[in-house]
Amino acid sequence: EIVLTQSPGTLSLSPGERATLSCRASQSVSSSYLAWYQQKPGQAPRLLIYGASSRATGIPDRFSGSGSGTDFTLTISRLEPEDFAVYYCQQYGTSPLTFGPGTKVDIK
């Protein structure tokens, strides 16, 4: 099973700042099959990025994904008030499908 580790656990930033979130896999994620989700309290996760760098339909271009192998990054170029949430990565290159523990982005 591929174990995903996300860092930092919590990121405290102000609106307008840049957020950089990390997802590291215990072994290489084949074909960069990595997705990112945003989750707000009481809501289901929302797909942001798939294939490590492809934005899902309707996702603003301030969200971008990069990386390959074992190291992946989600970048939010300029935080908007609605971006404060928990972000999860998920690998789908190998079964079982696994998720990271999440990074909380909160308001500084």
Partner 1 sequence: QLQLQESGPGLVKPSETLSLTCTVSGGSISSGSYYWGWIRQPPGKGLEWIGSFQYSGNTYYNPSLKSRVTISVDTSKNQFSLRLSSVTAADTAVYYCARPGFCGGTSCYMRSWFDPWGQGTLVTVSS
Query: Does residue 92 bind partner 1 (CB under 8 A)?
Result: yes
- Of 91, 3, 5, nearest to 52 (Cα)? 91
Query: Can you tell me which of 19, 35, 76, 79 binds partner 1, judged by CB under 8 A?
Result: 35
**Of 42, 47, 54, 51, whose CA–CA distance to 87 is shortest?**
47
Residues 30, 94 contacting (CB under 8 angstroms): yes
| Residues of this chain, 45-74, that bind partner 1 according to CB under 8 A | 45-47, 50, 56
Q: Does 77 bind partner 1 (CB under 8 A)?
A: no
Within 10 Å of residue 56's Cβ, how many Cβ atoms? Answer: 14
Which range binds partner 1 by CB under 8 A, 7-15, 18-26, 70-78, 88-96? Answer: 88-96
Residues near partner 1 (CB under 8 A): 1, 33, 35, 43-47, 50, 56, 88, 90, 92-102
